[in-house]
Every structure is written in structure tokens, then in C-alpha cells.
Structure 1
Amino acid sequence: MIYNIDPKVDCVFKAILGRRSRRHLLLHFLNAMLEDKLRYPLVKVTILNPYSSKDYETDKLHIVDIRAEDSRGRQFQLEIQRKNYTSLPERIVYSWCHLYQEQLEEGMNYDELQPVYSIWLLTESFGHKRLNAAQQAAKTATQTKSQPPPPLRHYALLDESGRAISDRCGGITICELHRFEFKDDIVSSEAQRWIRFFMEAHRLDSNNLPQWMRTKEMRQAQHTLRTFSANKQARYLYLSRLDAQREHLTILHEHDMMEQELQQAKSAQELAQAERDQAIERELRAQAERELAQAEREQAIERELRAQAEREQAIERELRAQAEREQAQAEREQAQAEREQALAELAELKKRLKL
């Protein structure tokens, strides 16, 4: 009976690329994935942690990666990850940094450091960190709609102009397998050939391989799948690893769901608190507006009272002025009467004197 063997299961992945007897497959894979990152193609690699089925017999959660070194001392790490989680980017960076720093042994100099290339094959979308305000502003200024990054991409230590801080750093390659779409028998590069193999090989008929699989490397990789299918012990290892991975993925999924629920509860709590804060702020603003309106009313009343007092004072001044005018008029009339009386008396006196 022929069983469909998925090359993305960790033990199969490492059996394909991590056997010393098949290191030419690893060499071909590295040259394909790092084609534009290496000045010259690799001609020889040494696998530092070769495949052994015993690694998986007692440890369900055995961390599977493939580490290799070329004749110049450059380091290579391969890992396949079937579940994304929040801190995966940090884990990827940490493992790359760890491989880089562990090259230096006692008495060695920094100029003896060699590049480290880390390649991660992912079956779920890679979580990207939120852009900071400056990055977001720059991004908004250059494009109106956010575009997803390419499914195969390389990260390196570069400045804003693309200049490397050192030519001995290497970098990290991320390959999101599920985002590739293939049509017919066409693959445009050896990297795409390997990517398509990991995505589709478990569904292929080994007796009738498509054209894109008919290369020496693909046939040898497919042979490893047939070995896991035909060999009872290898098949048991595959099924146990598949079960362990499913169990682990289930636990991670449940953890993610719990984390999501907690995050949703936290977000709901923060939203409720924000709404309460906004309600309090609105009430405070309304209270301030009421107090301001009351103060304005009191000021208006005070202004009206002052205006009334000023009007009353004006009336009082007018009355005093009127009284003063009337008094002056009375005094003028009295003076006029007194003059007229004096003139009359003078005329009477003159009249008497003539007599």
C-alpha cells in the first residue's frame, strides 16, 4: 500500500535535506534559495547535525533544524515551521544571532566571523510587527494601499540606502509556502521547484511524476517519500511525528484561541473603560459649559446692575443739574427783579427830587 507522505513533517524534511549521504540535495537547495545572495554558488557543505531517526524516538517535541557549514566556514540553518505564533519573529532572530555569536571561541578575533544564513519555510503567514509612526508616515507617503510582502524574501542588516553594515553578516530568508500559486507544469526557478515540491509532493503519483519533478534532485527527494511510505519503521516514525505535530499544533491553536479571547476581553475592557472615560470627560465638559454659562449669566446680571446703577446715577446727575439750572434761573430772575425794583425806586426818587 502506498501512503501519502508530507515532506513538511519535520522528520521527513530533515531526512530529505539532512542526510550526509544526500548532502548534494542540501547543496542544491541552498544554492536555489540563496542564488542572488551568494557571490559564488556553493560547491561543498558539511552537515553539522545529520538526520537520525533515533532523535525522534523519545522526544516528541524535538526541535528539528538542519545546520551546515561550507569550506569557508559560512553557516547555514534550515527550519520548517508549521504554526505561526506571536513571538516567532523574535525566535527566528534569536536563533540567527545565536548561531552568529557562537562561532567565536576563546582566542578568536571578530574578523574570523563568517556569514550566517538562516532559511525558514513557513506554512502559515508570517506575523509582521506594527510599523512605528515614522515608518507608517513614510509608507503612507509612498503608496496609497498596503501591499503584502513577497512570499520569498530576505532580511539583512542594511541602512536606509541599502548599504550593508558588514559583508560577513549573512541574513534571514523567509519563505511562506502557502502563498505560492503554480499553474500547469511551469516553475520559473530552482527555488520554485523546491517550494512546489514541499507544497505538492505528498499528492503526486510517484509512477507518473509531472514534468517539473523530472530532475535528478526531485527524483531523489521523492525517493525519500517512498522510503517513508514503504518502510514500516520509517512510516511509524512519520505517523508518530505527524501525530505529535498535530497535538502540538492543537495545543498552540488552543493557546492562540485563549490568547485571542483574553485579548478580546482586554480590548472590550479597554473599550468600556475608554467609553467611561469619554462619558466622564463629556460630563466634565458639560459641567464646565454649565458653569461657564452660569458665570456668563452672572456677569450679564452684574453688567446689567452696573448699567442700571450708571443710568440711575446719570438720572441723579441730570436731576441735580436741572435743580442747579432752575436755582440759577431763579437767582437770575431774583436779581433781575431786584434790579428792576432798584430802578423803580431810583426813578421814584428822581421824580420826588424834581418836585
Structure 2
Amino acid sequence: MKNARYLLLPLAFALLQSCAANLSYSGSPFKKSMESITADELKTHLYIVAADDMEGRDTGSEGQKKAGRYLIEQYQKMGVSHPKSMTSYYQTVPSEAMKGRRGNLPQSENILAFVEGSEKPEEIIVVSAHYDHVGIKNGEVYNGADDDGSGTVALLEMAEAFQMAKKSGHGPKRSILFLHVTGEEHGLLGSKYYADNPIFPMANTVADLNIDMIGRCDAENCGKEYVYVIGSEMLSTDLKKISEQANKETVNLELNYKYDDPNDKDRLYYRSDHYNFAKNGVPVIFYFDGIHEDYHKPTDTPDRIDYKALQKRTQLVFATAWELANRKDRIVVDKK
């Protein structure tokens, strides 16, 4: 019997290794991390990011810079640093790259926070959102709580969740880059600058999960638990399958593919920051709640956000990023 026990030891060790290598959605590390993404914490962050004293976060303005400093403070508190090749969280976007739809803009900054992977750190999952909005018009602050304060604070909560997993010994195998871009409101300028001057090669970038408005509902869907998922199979059939499985095993939202229609008159696939990754061959998903009554109005305020919906949509993005980061094989690009 003693010899039999010794024979069983390698098998037990192999099983333990197998379990450690497959961090399933039902596993404790994933569940604890996902549950750390709460409506209350999202609300706390958003009431600050979209406060009147941020002055609508106009691109390159002091209000936007103030919001950026808040984001960095939160990353520092949770112990999430910037990429090692950078001296700070800021990627400066020079004024010559800030020529927008309404003329020249001042120098601005993308903000980058980074959780390094444990096994394949050179492979990067980007989770992006723009943190600028349209500022003050006729004395009224355009707070941009949904556009895109919702995506901005979602990144904070996801970074905290991944960092929690890492501290418990279950950090992502691939690296996660949390990318807050500037200049979206003036023509996707910050994401274009990053794509043209990437901190990590585009060839090493596995996917971009981009969030631009996930805290409200549009007229077609109010009362439903849903989110628009745009572009998930434009470049990779793997990505859509992963997205749907992540949703099924976690929050079970209705995934609406309306805007994947090639005849979509709004052409939303081309209108947010993910497109600067897609046009460089990086698979993308754009998460969106629809064009609602307060879009680009001073009434886009934190008190009108559905924080439970914001929580569930953030958890969906987190679950998708978790699978992309921890699966054995990198997703394939099999479409053009």
C-alpha cells in the first residue's frame, strides 16, 4: 500500500497543476474578483469623474487633466503601475497629433495602467475607454457621465479585480493594459496616436475590448438587461464565441448585434476607439448601451446612470478579458 501511495503522487500533482492552469468562471479566484466589481464602487468613482468640477473633461482641458489625476491616484492605491518601459502613467499626445474635427487642440495625454501577465507577459489584452468629453457650452457643464464616464470607471473596477486575483496568486497569464484615451470626441485622436506609437507592438496585441457608454439604455431596450456588442466577429470567430460563453456563464445579458449590420446607417463600428485597433488587424469588441435621450447633452449626469446595469456590463467585459488572458491559445485572426 505504501508503494501504491507513491505511485498516486505524480497523478495527484498533475491534477493539481491542471486545475491551477484552468481558472474557470466557476472557480473561486474568478468569482471573488468578478464580485469585487460593485455598483456602489462604480457609483462612487463616477460621481467624482463626472462631477461639475471636472468641467466636462474637454479634450486637453484642466478638467480632463484633473480627472486623469484622479484615475492615476486610484491605480496607485490598488497597486497597479504603468508599463515598465514608461516613466509614468502618461503617454503624451503632442499638439501636432491633436488636430481634430473642430481645429487644433492642445497637447493631451493617454493614461496607461498595466497588470503584467505571469506566463505570456508579451501578449497584451487592451481594455480601453476614452476619458474626455465635450466640456462647457453656454455656461452649462456637459458632465459626460455615460459618455464615457461609465467606461472610464469600468476600467478602474476591472483593474482592481485583476490585481486582487494577482495578489492571491491567480494573476492573468497574459498582460492586461488599461488604456484611457484622450481626444475621442474630436476624432479618435488619442487611440490613433497609441495605434501609431504603441507601447506594445500591435503584433503582440491579442484583442481590444473597448467600452464607450454602458450606463444607460436606449428607447428600444429600456427595461431589458442587454448590451450592444459590436465587431466581435469582424476579425476573429474565436472572439465572438468567447464573448458569448463568458456572458452565458456569468451575467447572462441579451447581447444585441444590431450594429454589426453592414448597412448600419450609424456606422458605429467605425466611430469609437476600438477602430484604430481593428484597422491594424487587432480583434475588437465595442460595448455600447445605445444612443439615448441625454447623449451629448448637459443632462448626461451621474444621477441618471443605471448602476446595476453598469455593474453587469463591466462584469461581462471582465469575464471576457479573463478568458482571453488565461486561455491556453491566443485567439486567431481568421477574417479580414
Normalising TM by the smaller chain, what interval?
under 0.3
Q: Please say which structure displays the higher CA radius of gyration.
A: 1
Q: When you count strand as a share of all residues, which structure comes out higher? A: 2
Larger RCO, structures 1/2 (Cα 8 Å, 6+ apart): 2
